[in-house]
Amino acid sequence: MDQLSVLVRTYKGDDPDALAASIQSLLEQTRLPDEIVVVEDGPLTATLEETLTTLERDTAVPIKRVRHADNQGNGAACRTGIKAASYELVAIQDADDLAVPRRLEWSLELLRATGADLVGGCIEEFETDPDRPHSRRSVPCDPAAIVQTAKLRNPINHTTVLARRQPILEVGNYRQLRLGEDYELWARLLAAGYTAVNSPRVLAKVRAGPQMYRRRGGLEHVYGEFDLQRRLASTGFVSRPRAAANFVVRSAPKLAPNAVRGKIITTLLRDPQPN
């Protein structure tokens, strides 16, 4: 039977209750993970430490805790987690997201059926109640459609990924960027000829509201977008003119007021859910 690790990154700014709920959703899977690798990106708060210690003590699924002495960012935390994983299959889970109960079961079935190197799926976004999502981020499912979409935007929801570890290591693992570490990694995988497939099913419930939209704006994100597009072009995955056009189109919302940015994201990049 295929064994798998789940990678969770956390840092001092995470909410302890959200982290506990996220890990609990992994412990309630129809197909349990064989280990959970928690990368602690810098010193944690006492409450987060207590939360992880309690989970570590009370669950039958091994929890491997890996610590950074200082906060290094998402890319570095993912890189550490991939290296620390004990198994060839690695799933990704963001610290405040919830995996649906059959996420790992469905992902493994899709990986086996397609022979893909990476599988993902759709997400539903909610503000307070995961059973009342306000939007859905759908993704292309066919490998060719994923490649074409990747030239314009990220075609894979990071928190739904189940991937083979070796291809990630072979293309250089995650890199530390201002933003888009996952997108840049997918581009390198696709450019190297590895295959990605998405499920049309919702695999994760993601917390998303005004705070999330606020975090996606400002000059720092514009600089990050420039660096991301430059790197995508350097791999040969997109042309330089395409990268320049992407930069212009994707930077405009980052400079818009928070409410406008949220409206752009929910109107153009999400499927609204009925109340």
Give me the pLDDT at residue 255, please: 62
What pLDDT shows up at residue 275?
Answer: 47
Average pLDDT along the chain, 275 residues, taken 10 residues at a time = 93 96 97 98 97 94 97 96 98 96 98 98 94 92 96 95 98 92 95 97 87 61 81 86 83 64 54 53
pLDDT of residue 86: 97
CA separation, residue 102 to residues 98, 105, 120, 196, 268 (Å): 11, 5, 13, 20, 29
pLDDT at residue 272, as a whole number: 56
Q: Could you give the domains of the chain? A: 1-96 (3.90.550.10)
Q: Which pLDDT does position 267 carry in this prediction?
A: 52
